[in-house]
Structure 1
Amino acid sequence: MKAVFKVAGMRNTKDIGRIKDAIANNEGIVACQIIANSGQIEVIYDDYFINEERLIECIENLGYTVV
């Protein structure tokens, strides 16, 4: 499965690293690409292990807003 999220509050490489680590630490993540200048995150994942709601929760638990 592929999910695309728009995230508010990503300002620098530290933010990008935190989000990427939080997503990558979940079982079932195949790939994660963050496009900083647009605030967009593309995640390819195996929906047997994880779903979009859990991915959003991982991002929001760090203090960012998924729009």
Structure 2
Amino acid sequence: MKSSIKIPNMKGPDDVKKIKKAIACNEGVIACEISKEKGEVNIVYDTYFIQLDDIIASIEDFGYTVL
């Protein structure tokens, strides 16, 4: 499954690293592409292992707002 989410409070390279870490710690995530300029994250994941809501929750646990 491929999903795209918006993270408006992503500002610099440190934010990108933290968000990538938050996403990567989930089993079932295959790939992610982060565009700091667009405030957008594209995620490819296996729904057998994880759902989008779980990925969003892990990003929000790091203090980011997901739209």
TM-score for both structures, normalised by structure 1: 0.96
Structure 2: gaps of 5 or more residues: none
Q: CA deviation at 1:25?
A: 1.1
Instruction: Name the amino acid aligned to 1:39.
Output: G
- Does 2:8 correspond to 1:4? no
Tell me how far apart the structure 1 counterparts of residues 59 and 21 of structure 2 sit (CA, whole Å): 10
Query: Which residue is 1:47 aligned to?
Result: 47
Moved over 2 A (4+): none
Tell me how far apart the structure 2 counterparts of residues 63 and 8 of structure 1 sit (CA, whole Å): 12
Structure 1: gaps of 5 or more residues: none
Instruction: Name the amino acid aligned to 1:4.
Output: S
Higher strand share: 1
TM-score for both structures, normalised by structure 2: 0.96
Instruction: Name the amino acid aligned to 2:30.
Output: V
Identity percentage of aligned residues: 43
Equivalenced residues, count: 67
Query: Which residue is 1:65 aligned to?
Result: 65
